[in-house]
Structure 1
Amino acid sequence: MQANQQWIIFTFSTNHEAAYAIEQFLQMQGAEGVTVEDKIDFIKTYEEQKTPDVIIGDYLDTLSFDVNIEAYFLYQNNKLQINKNPFSLEEKQEKKWINVSDFEAMINKALINIAEISPVGAGYISNRILENEDWQNNWKKYYRTQKFGRIVVNPSWIQYQAKENEILLDLDPGSAFGTGSHETTALVLNFLSDYSFPDLSQKNILDLGTGSGILAIAAAKIFPNSKIDAIDIDEHAIQVAKENAQKNQTNIKFKTAELKDLENEYDLILANLIATLHLDLIPLYKEKLKPGGMLIASGIINLKEEAVRKSFFKNDLKIISEAKQNDWNAFVCKYL
C-alpha cells in the first residue's frame, strides 16, 4: 500500500430489510471494505454469544434501529476505483476509475431499484476522503499511561518509572476487553486501589469475566499472598489474560468456565458484567461467596442501577460502598 494512498468512504442510513441489498450492491461494485451497524443483528449475536465482560447489552438500549453502512473505495484525483464488470464471478476483478459524481448517480439508481422491493430510509448520506496513514503505529497515540489511585496501567512502548507507593501494570491494548479505558473497569481498579479491604492473605479471590486479565493482575499485585482464580467463557480472552499475567509476573489460575462450574468459595469476587447478568447471577453469588465475603459489581448502567440495588438488598448482598462514572455504577457488597 502506498504511503500517499487515499480512500473515499460512502455513508448510508437505511433499515434492516434494505441493508443487505445495499451491502451487496457496494460489494459487487468493488468496495475494498463495507461496514454495517445493524441493531437487529447486534441483538441476535448478543443473545447467541452473551460474553459476560462485554457491556454491549446495556449499550444496545441506546441504539436506534437505523442501519448505518460505510463503503471504502480507493480514491485519487476525484475518481474512485470500482469493478469493471460487477457481475463477473472471477476472483480477481478487472478495475476501472470513474468520477465520484458518476458513482453517486449509480448509487441513486440502485437505491431506486431497491426501493421498489423495500423502503430504503434516508439512503445515501454523503462521502468523505480518508488519507492513508501508518495504522500499525498511529493507533498508539490514543493510549497513554493511566492512573487509578495507586494503580498505574502503562503501555509497553511508554517508559514509566513507578513511584514507591504505586502498583504498576504492564498492559497493552488487545482484542480482549479491559485496558482501564472504560469507566466500568476504572471503577473496579479504583476500589481495588483505595478501599480498605480486610486481610486477604491466603484468601480466595475470583475475577469473573476476566477479559484481558487486568483486574486479576491488579488484585494479584495488591494481595500478593492471595489465591486468585480468573475465568471467562471466551477461550481467546483467557489466552490474552495468561500472556498479560506472565508479562506482569503474577500467579493467577486461569480457566475457560462459567461461575456455576466452579467448586471453590471466595472471599472476594470481582465482577465487571452487564446489569442483567448481575441480576441473573445473584443466586450464584450467594453460593460462591463465603459468609462475610465481598463482591465488587461493576458495569451497571444508570437505567438498571435501581433494579440491581433492590435485588442485592433482597438477597443479603449489602452495599457498603458505591461509585459512579458518567452513566456507569459500581458497588462494593458484603454477603451477610
Structure 2
Amino acid sequence: MASWKVTFPCTRDEAEAIDFEGAALLDIDPAPVLLTSETIPDDPASWQLEAYFDGKPNSAAIAAVQALAPSSDGVRPALEKLRDEDWVTMSQAGIEPVHAGRFYVHTEHNRGIVPPGARAFRIDAGLAFGTGTHETTAGCLRTLDELKVSGKRVRNLLDLGTGTGLLAFAALHLWPGAYATASDIDPRSIEVTAENAGLNHVALGEGMGQLALAVAPGMQHPLLIGRAPYDLIIANILAGPLVELAPTVSMALAEGGTLVLAGLLQDQADTVARAYRRQGLRLAGRIDNGAWPALRLVKRARYGADRVTRPGPGGVGEAPGFGSW
C-alpha cells in the first residue's frame, strides 16, 4: 500500500502542544505518524505539521490532523503520494546532526561521521518534541560543556521538562557520579526518555550515576521534592512556564547552584531573567543561538529558607513557608 503525506502550516506553540498519540487520532487506523519542523529559521509563526499515512487518508482523517494546528483553519492541505521508499528515512534525512561542545546528536538515519572525542546520542524525531537539532537544545549542550570545562562539580541534577531525555543524558555523561532526575508533564515524553535511555546506554534508577524519571507538572512530584536541593537544574521549556515556575524552581536549587534556562526568544530573555533575580539568582552567562538564548543563572548564597540540611537524595528538614510544591 502506498504511503501519503499531508502537510499543514502551524506555529511553534502549536507544534509543542501536539499530543502525538492523543485521543484526537484514535479513530484513525492505523494512526498517522506526525512530525513538526521549522520552515523559516527563528520564526515561531513559521512551522509545519506533516502527517504520514499508510494509504490515502480520507477527509475525516485529514480534518483530525488539521485540528491539531488551529492556525491552519481554512488552509487547503498539501496532499502528496510518496514513492515506494522508507518514508521514515526520508522524513529524517533533512535533520542535520548537531555538534555542540563535546556532544554530537543524530537520528537513526543521519549518524554521519562522529567527530573524534565527541559523545554521540541518537535521538529520533517524531515521538516527542525536540530532537536535539533545535538551537535551544544546542545552546543548553554548549552551556553544560562550558560548566564542565570551568570545573563545576555536580552531585545532584534535574532536567525539568526533559522531552526526549537528551539534556539529562548529556549532564550524566559530564558528571557520571551524580544523582540525576528527569521529569516532564507529558507521560509520553517520559516513555520516550526511557526508550532513548536504552538506545544510548543510560542506566535508569535512583542511585548514583542513574537517571530517575517522573511525570510531573513543574515541581509537583514527591520524587522531585524529596531529591532537592539540586546543584544543577536544566529547564528547556517555554518562557511563560519558566516565569510561572520561578519561585518553586529557585527554591529547589541549592545555594550556589546553577540553573540553565532555554526555550525562550531573545525578546523574552530579560523577562525570564528578571523573574529569577527576584528569587535571589543572578545571571552568570548567556549563549545566543540565533533568536534562541540559553541563560545560565546562579543562586546567591544564604538566600531564602534554610530548608534542607544536606544536598541530594536523603536531605532532611523543611522550613515553614516552603511553598506550594
Tell me, yes or no, whether TM beats 0.5: yes
1:110-121 to structure 2, matched below 5 A, reads none
Do the aligned residues in 1 keep the contact of 2:136 with 2:262 (CA within 8 Å)? Answer: yes
Match of 2:263 in 1: 299
Number of residue pairs aligned between Structure 1 and Structure 2:
247
Deviations 1:185-204 (A, max 9, x none): 11101111223454435x10
**Quick one: distance in 2 between partners of 1:69 and 1:256?**
26
Match of 2:70 in 1: none
**Quick one: distance in 1 between partners of 2:78 and 2:44?**
26
Deviation at 1:160, TM superposition (A): 3.7
| Gap change, CA 1:277 and 1:2, over 3 Å in 2 | closer
Residue 254 of structure 1 pairs with residue 213 of structure 2: yes
Letter in 2 for 1:132: L
Deviations 1:52-84 (A, max 9, x none): xx999xxxx9659xxx999x9xxxxxxxx999x
Q: SS where residue 180 of structure 1 aligns? A: coil
Match of 2:94 in 1: 142
| Gap change, CA 1:2 and 1:285, over 3 Å in 2 | closer
1:147-296 to structure 2, matched below 5 A, reads 147-157=99-109, 158=111, 160-163=113-116, 165-195=117-147, 196-200=149-153, 203-250=155-202, 251-258=210-217, 259-261=219-221, 262-263=224-225, 264=227, 265-296=229-260
Letter in 2 for 1:171: I
Letter in 2 for 1:335: K
Do the aligned residues in 2 keep the contact of 1:205 with 1:267 (CA within 8 Å)? Answer: yes
Match of 2:279 in 1: 315
Residue in structure 2 matching 1:132, options 60, 82, 86: 82
Q: SS where residue 191 of structure 1 aligns? A: helix
TM, length-normalised to structure 1: 0.62
Letter in 1 for 2:241: L
**Quick one: distance in 2 between partners of 1:82 and 1:312?**
48
| Gap change, CA 1:301 and 1:151, over 3 Å in 2 | same
Do the aligned residues in 2 keep the contact of 1:187 with 1:323 (CA within 8 Å)? Answer: yes
Do the aligned residues in 1 keep the contact of 2:250 with 2:276 (CA within 8 Å)? Answer: no
Letter in 2 for 1:302: Q
Do the aligned residues in 2 keep the contact of 1:151 with 1:189 (CA within 8 Å)? Answer: yes
Gaps of 5+ in 2: 23-35, 61-72, 203-209, 301-325
Gaps of 5+ in 1: 8-32, 73-80, 92-121
| Gap change, CA 1:287 and 1:260, over 3 Å in 2 | farther
**Quick one: distance in 2 between partners of 1:221 and 1:279?**
29
**Quick one: distance in 1 between partners of 2:75 and 2:156?**
56
RMSD: 4.1
**Quick one: distance in 2 between partners of 1:124 and 1:204?**
48
| Gap change, CA 1:124 and 1:176, over 3 Å in 2 | closer
Deviation at 1:255, TM superposition (A): 1.2
Do the aligned residues in 2 keep the contact of 1:213 with 1:230 (CA within 8 Å)? Answer: yes
Deviation at 1:231, TM superposition (A): 0.4
Deviation at 1:2, TM superposition (A): 4.8
| Gap change, CA 1:159 and 1:37, over 3 Å in 2 | closer
Deviation at 1:139, TM superposition (A): 1.5
| Gap change, CA 1:321 and 1:2, over 3 Å in 2 | closer
**Quick one: distance in 2 between partners of 1:333 and 1:302?**
16
**Larger fraction in helix:** 1
Q: Which has the higher contact order (CA 8 A, sep 6+)?
A: 1
Residue in structure 2 matching 1:331, options 289, 295, 311: 295
Match of 1:101 in 2: none
| Gap change, CA 1:129 and 1:311, over 3 Å in 2 | closer
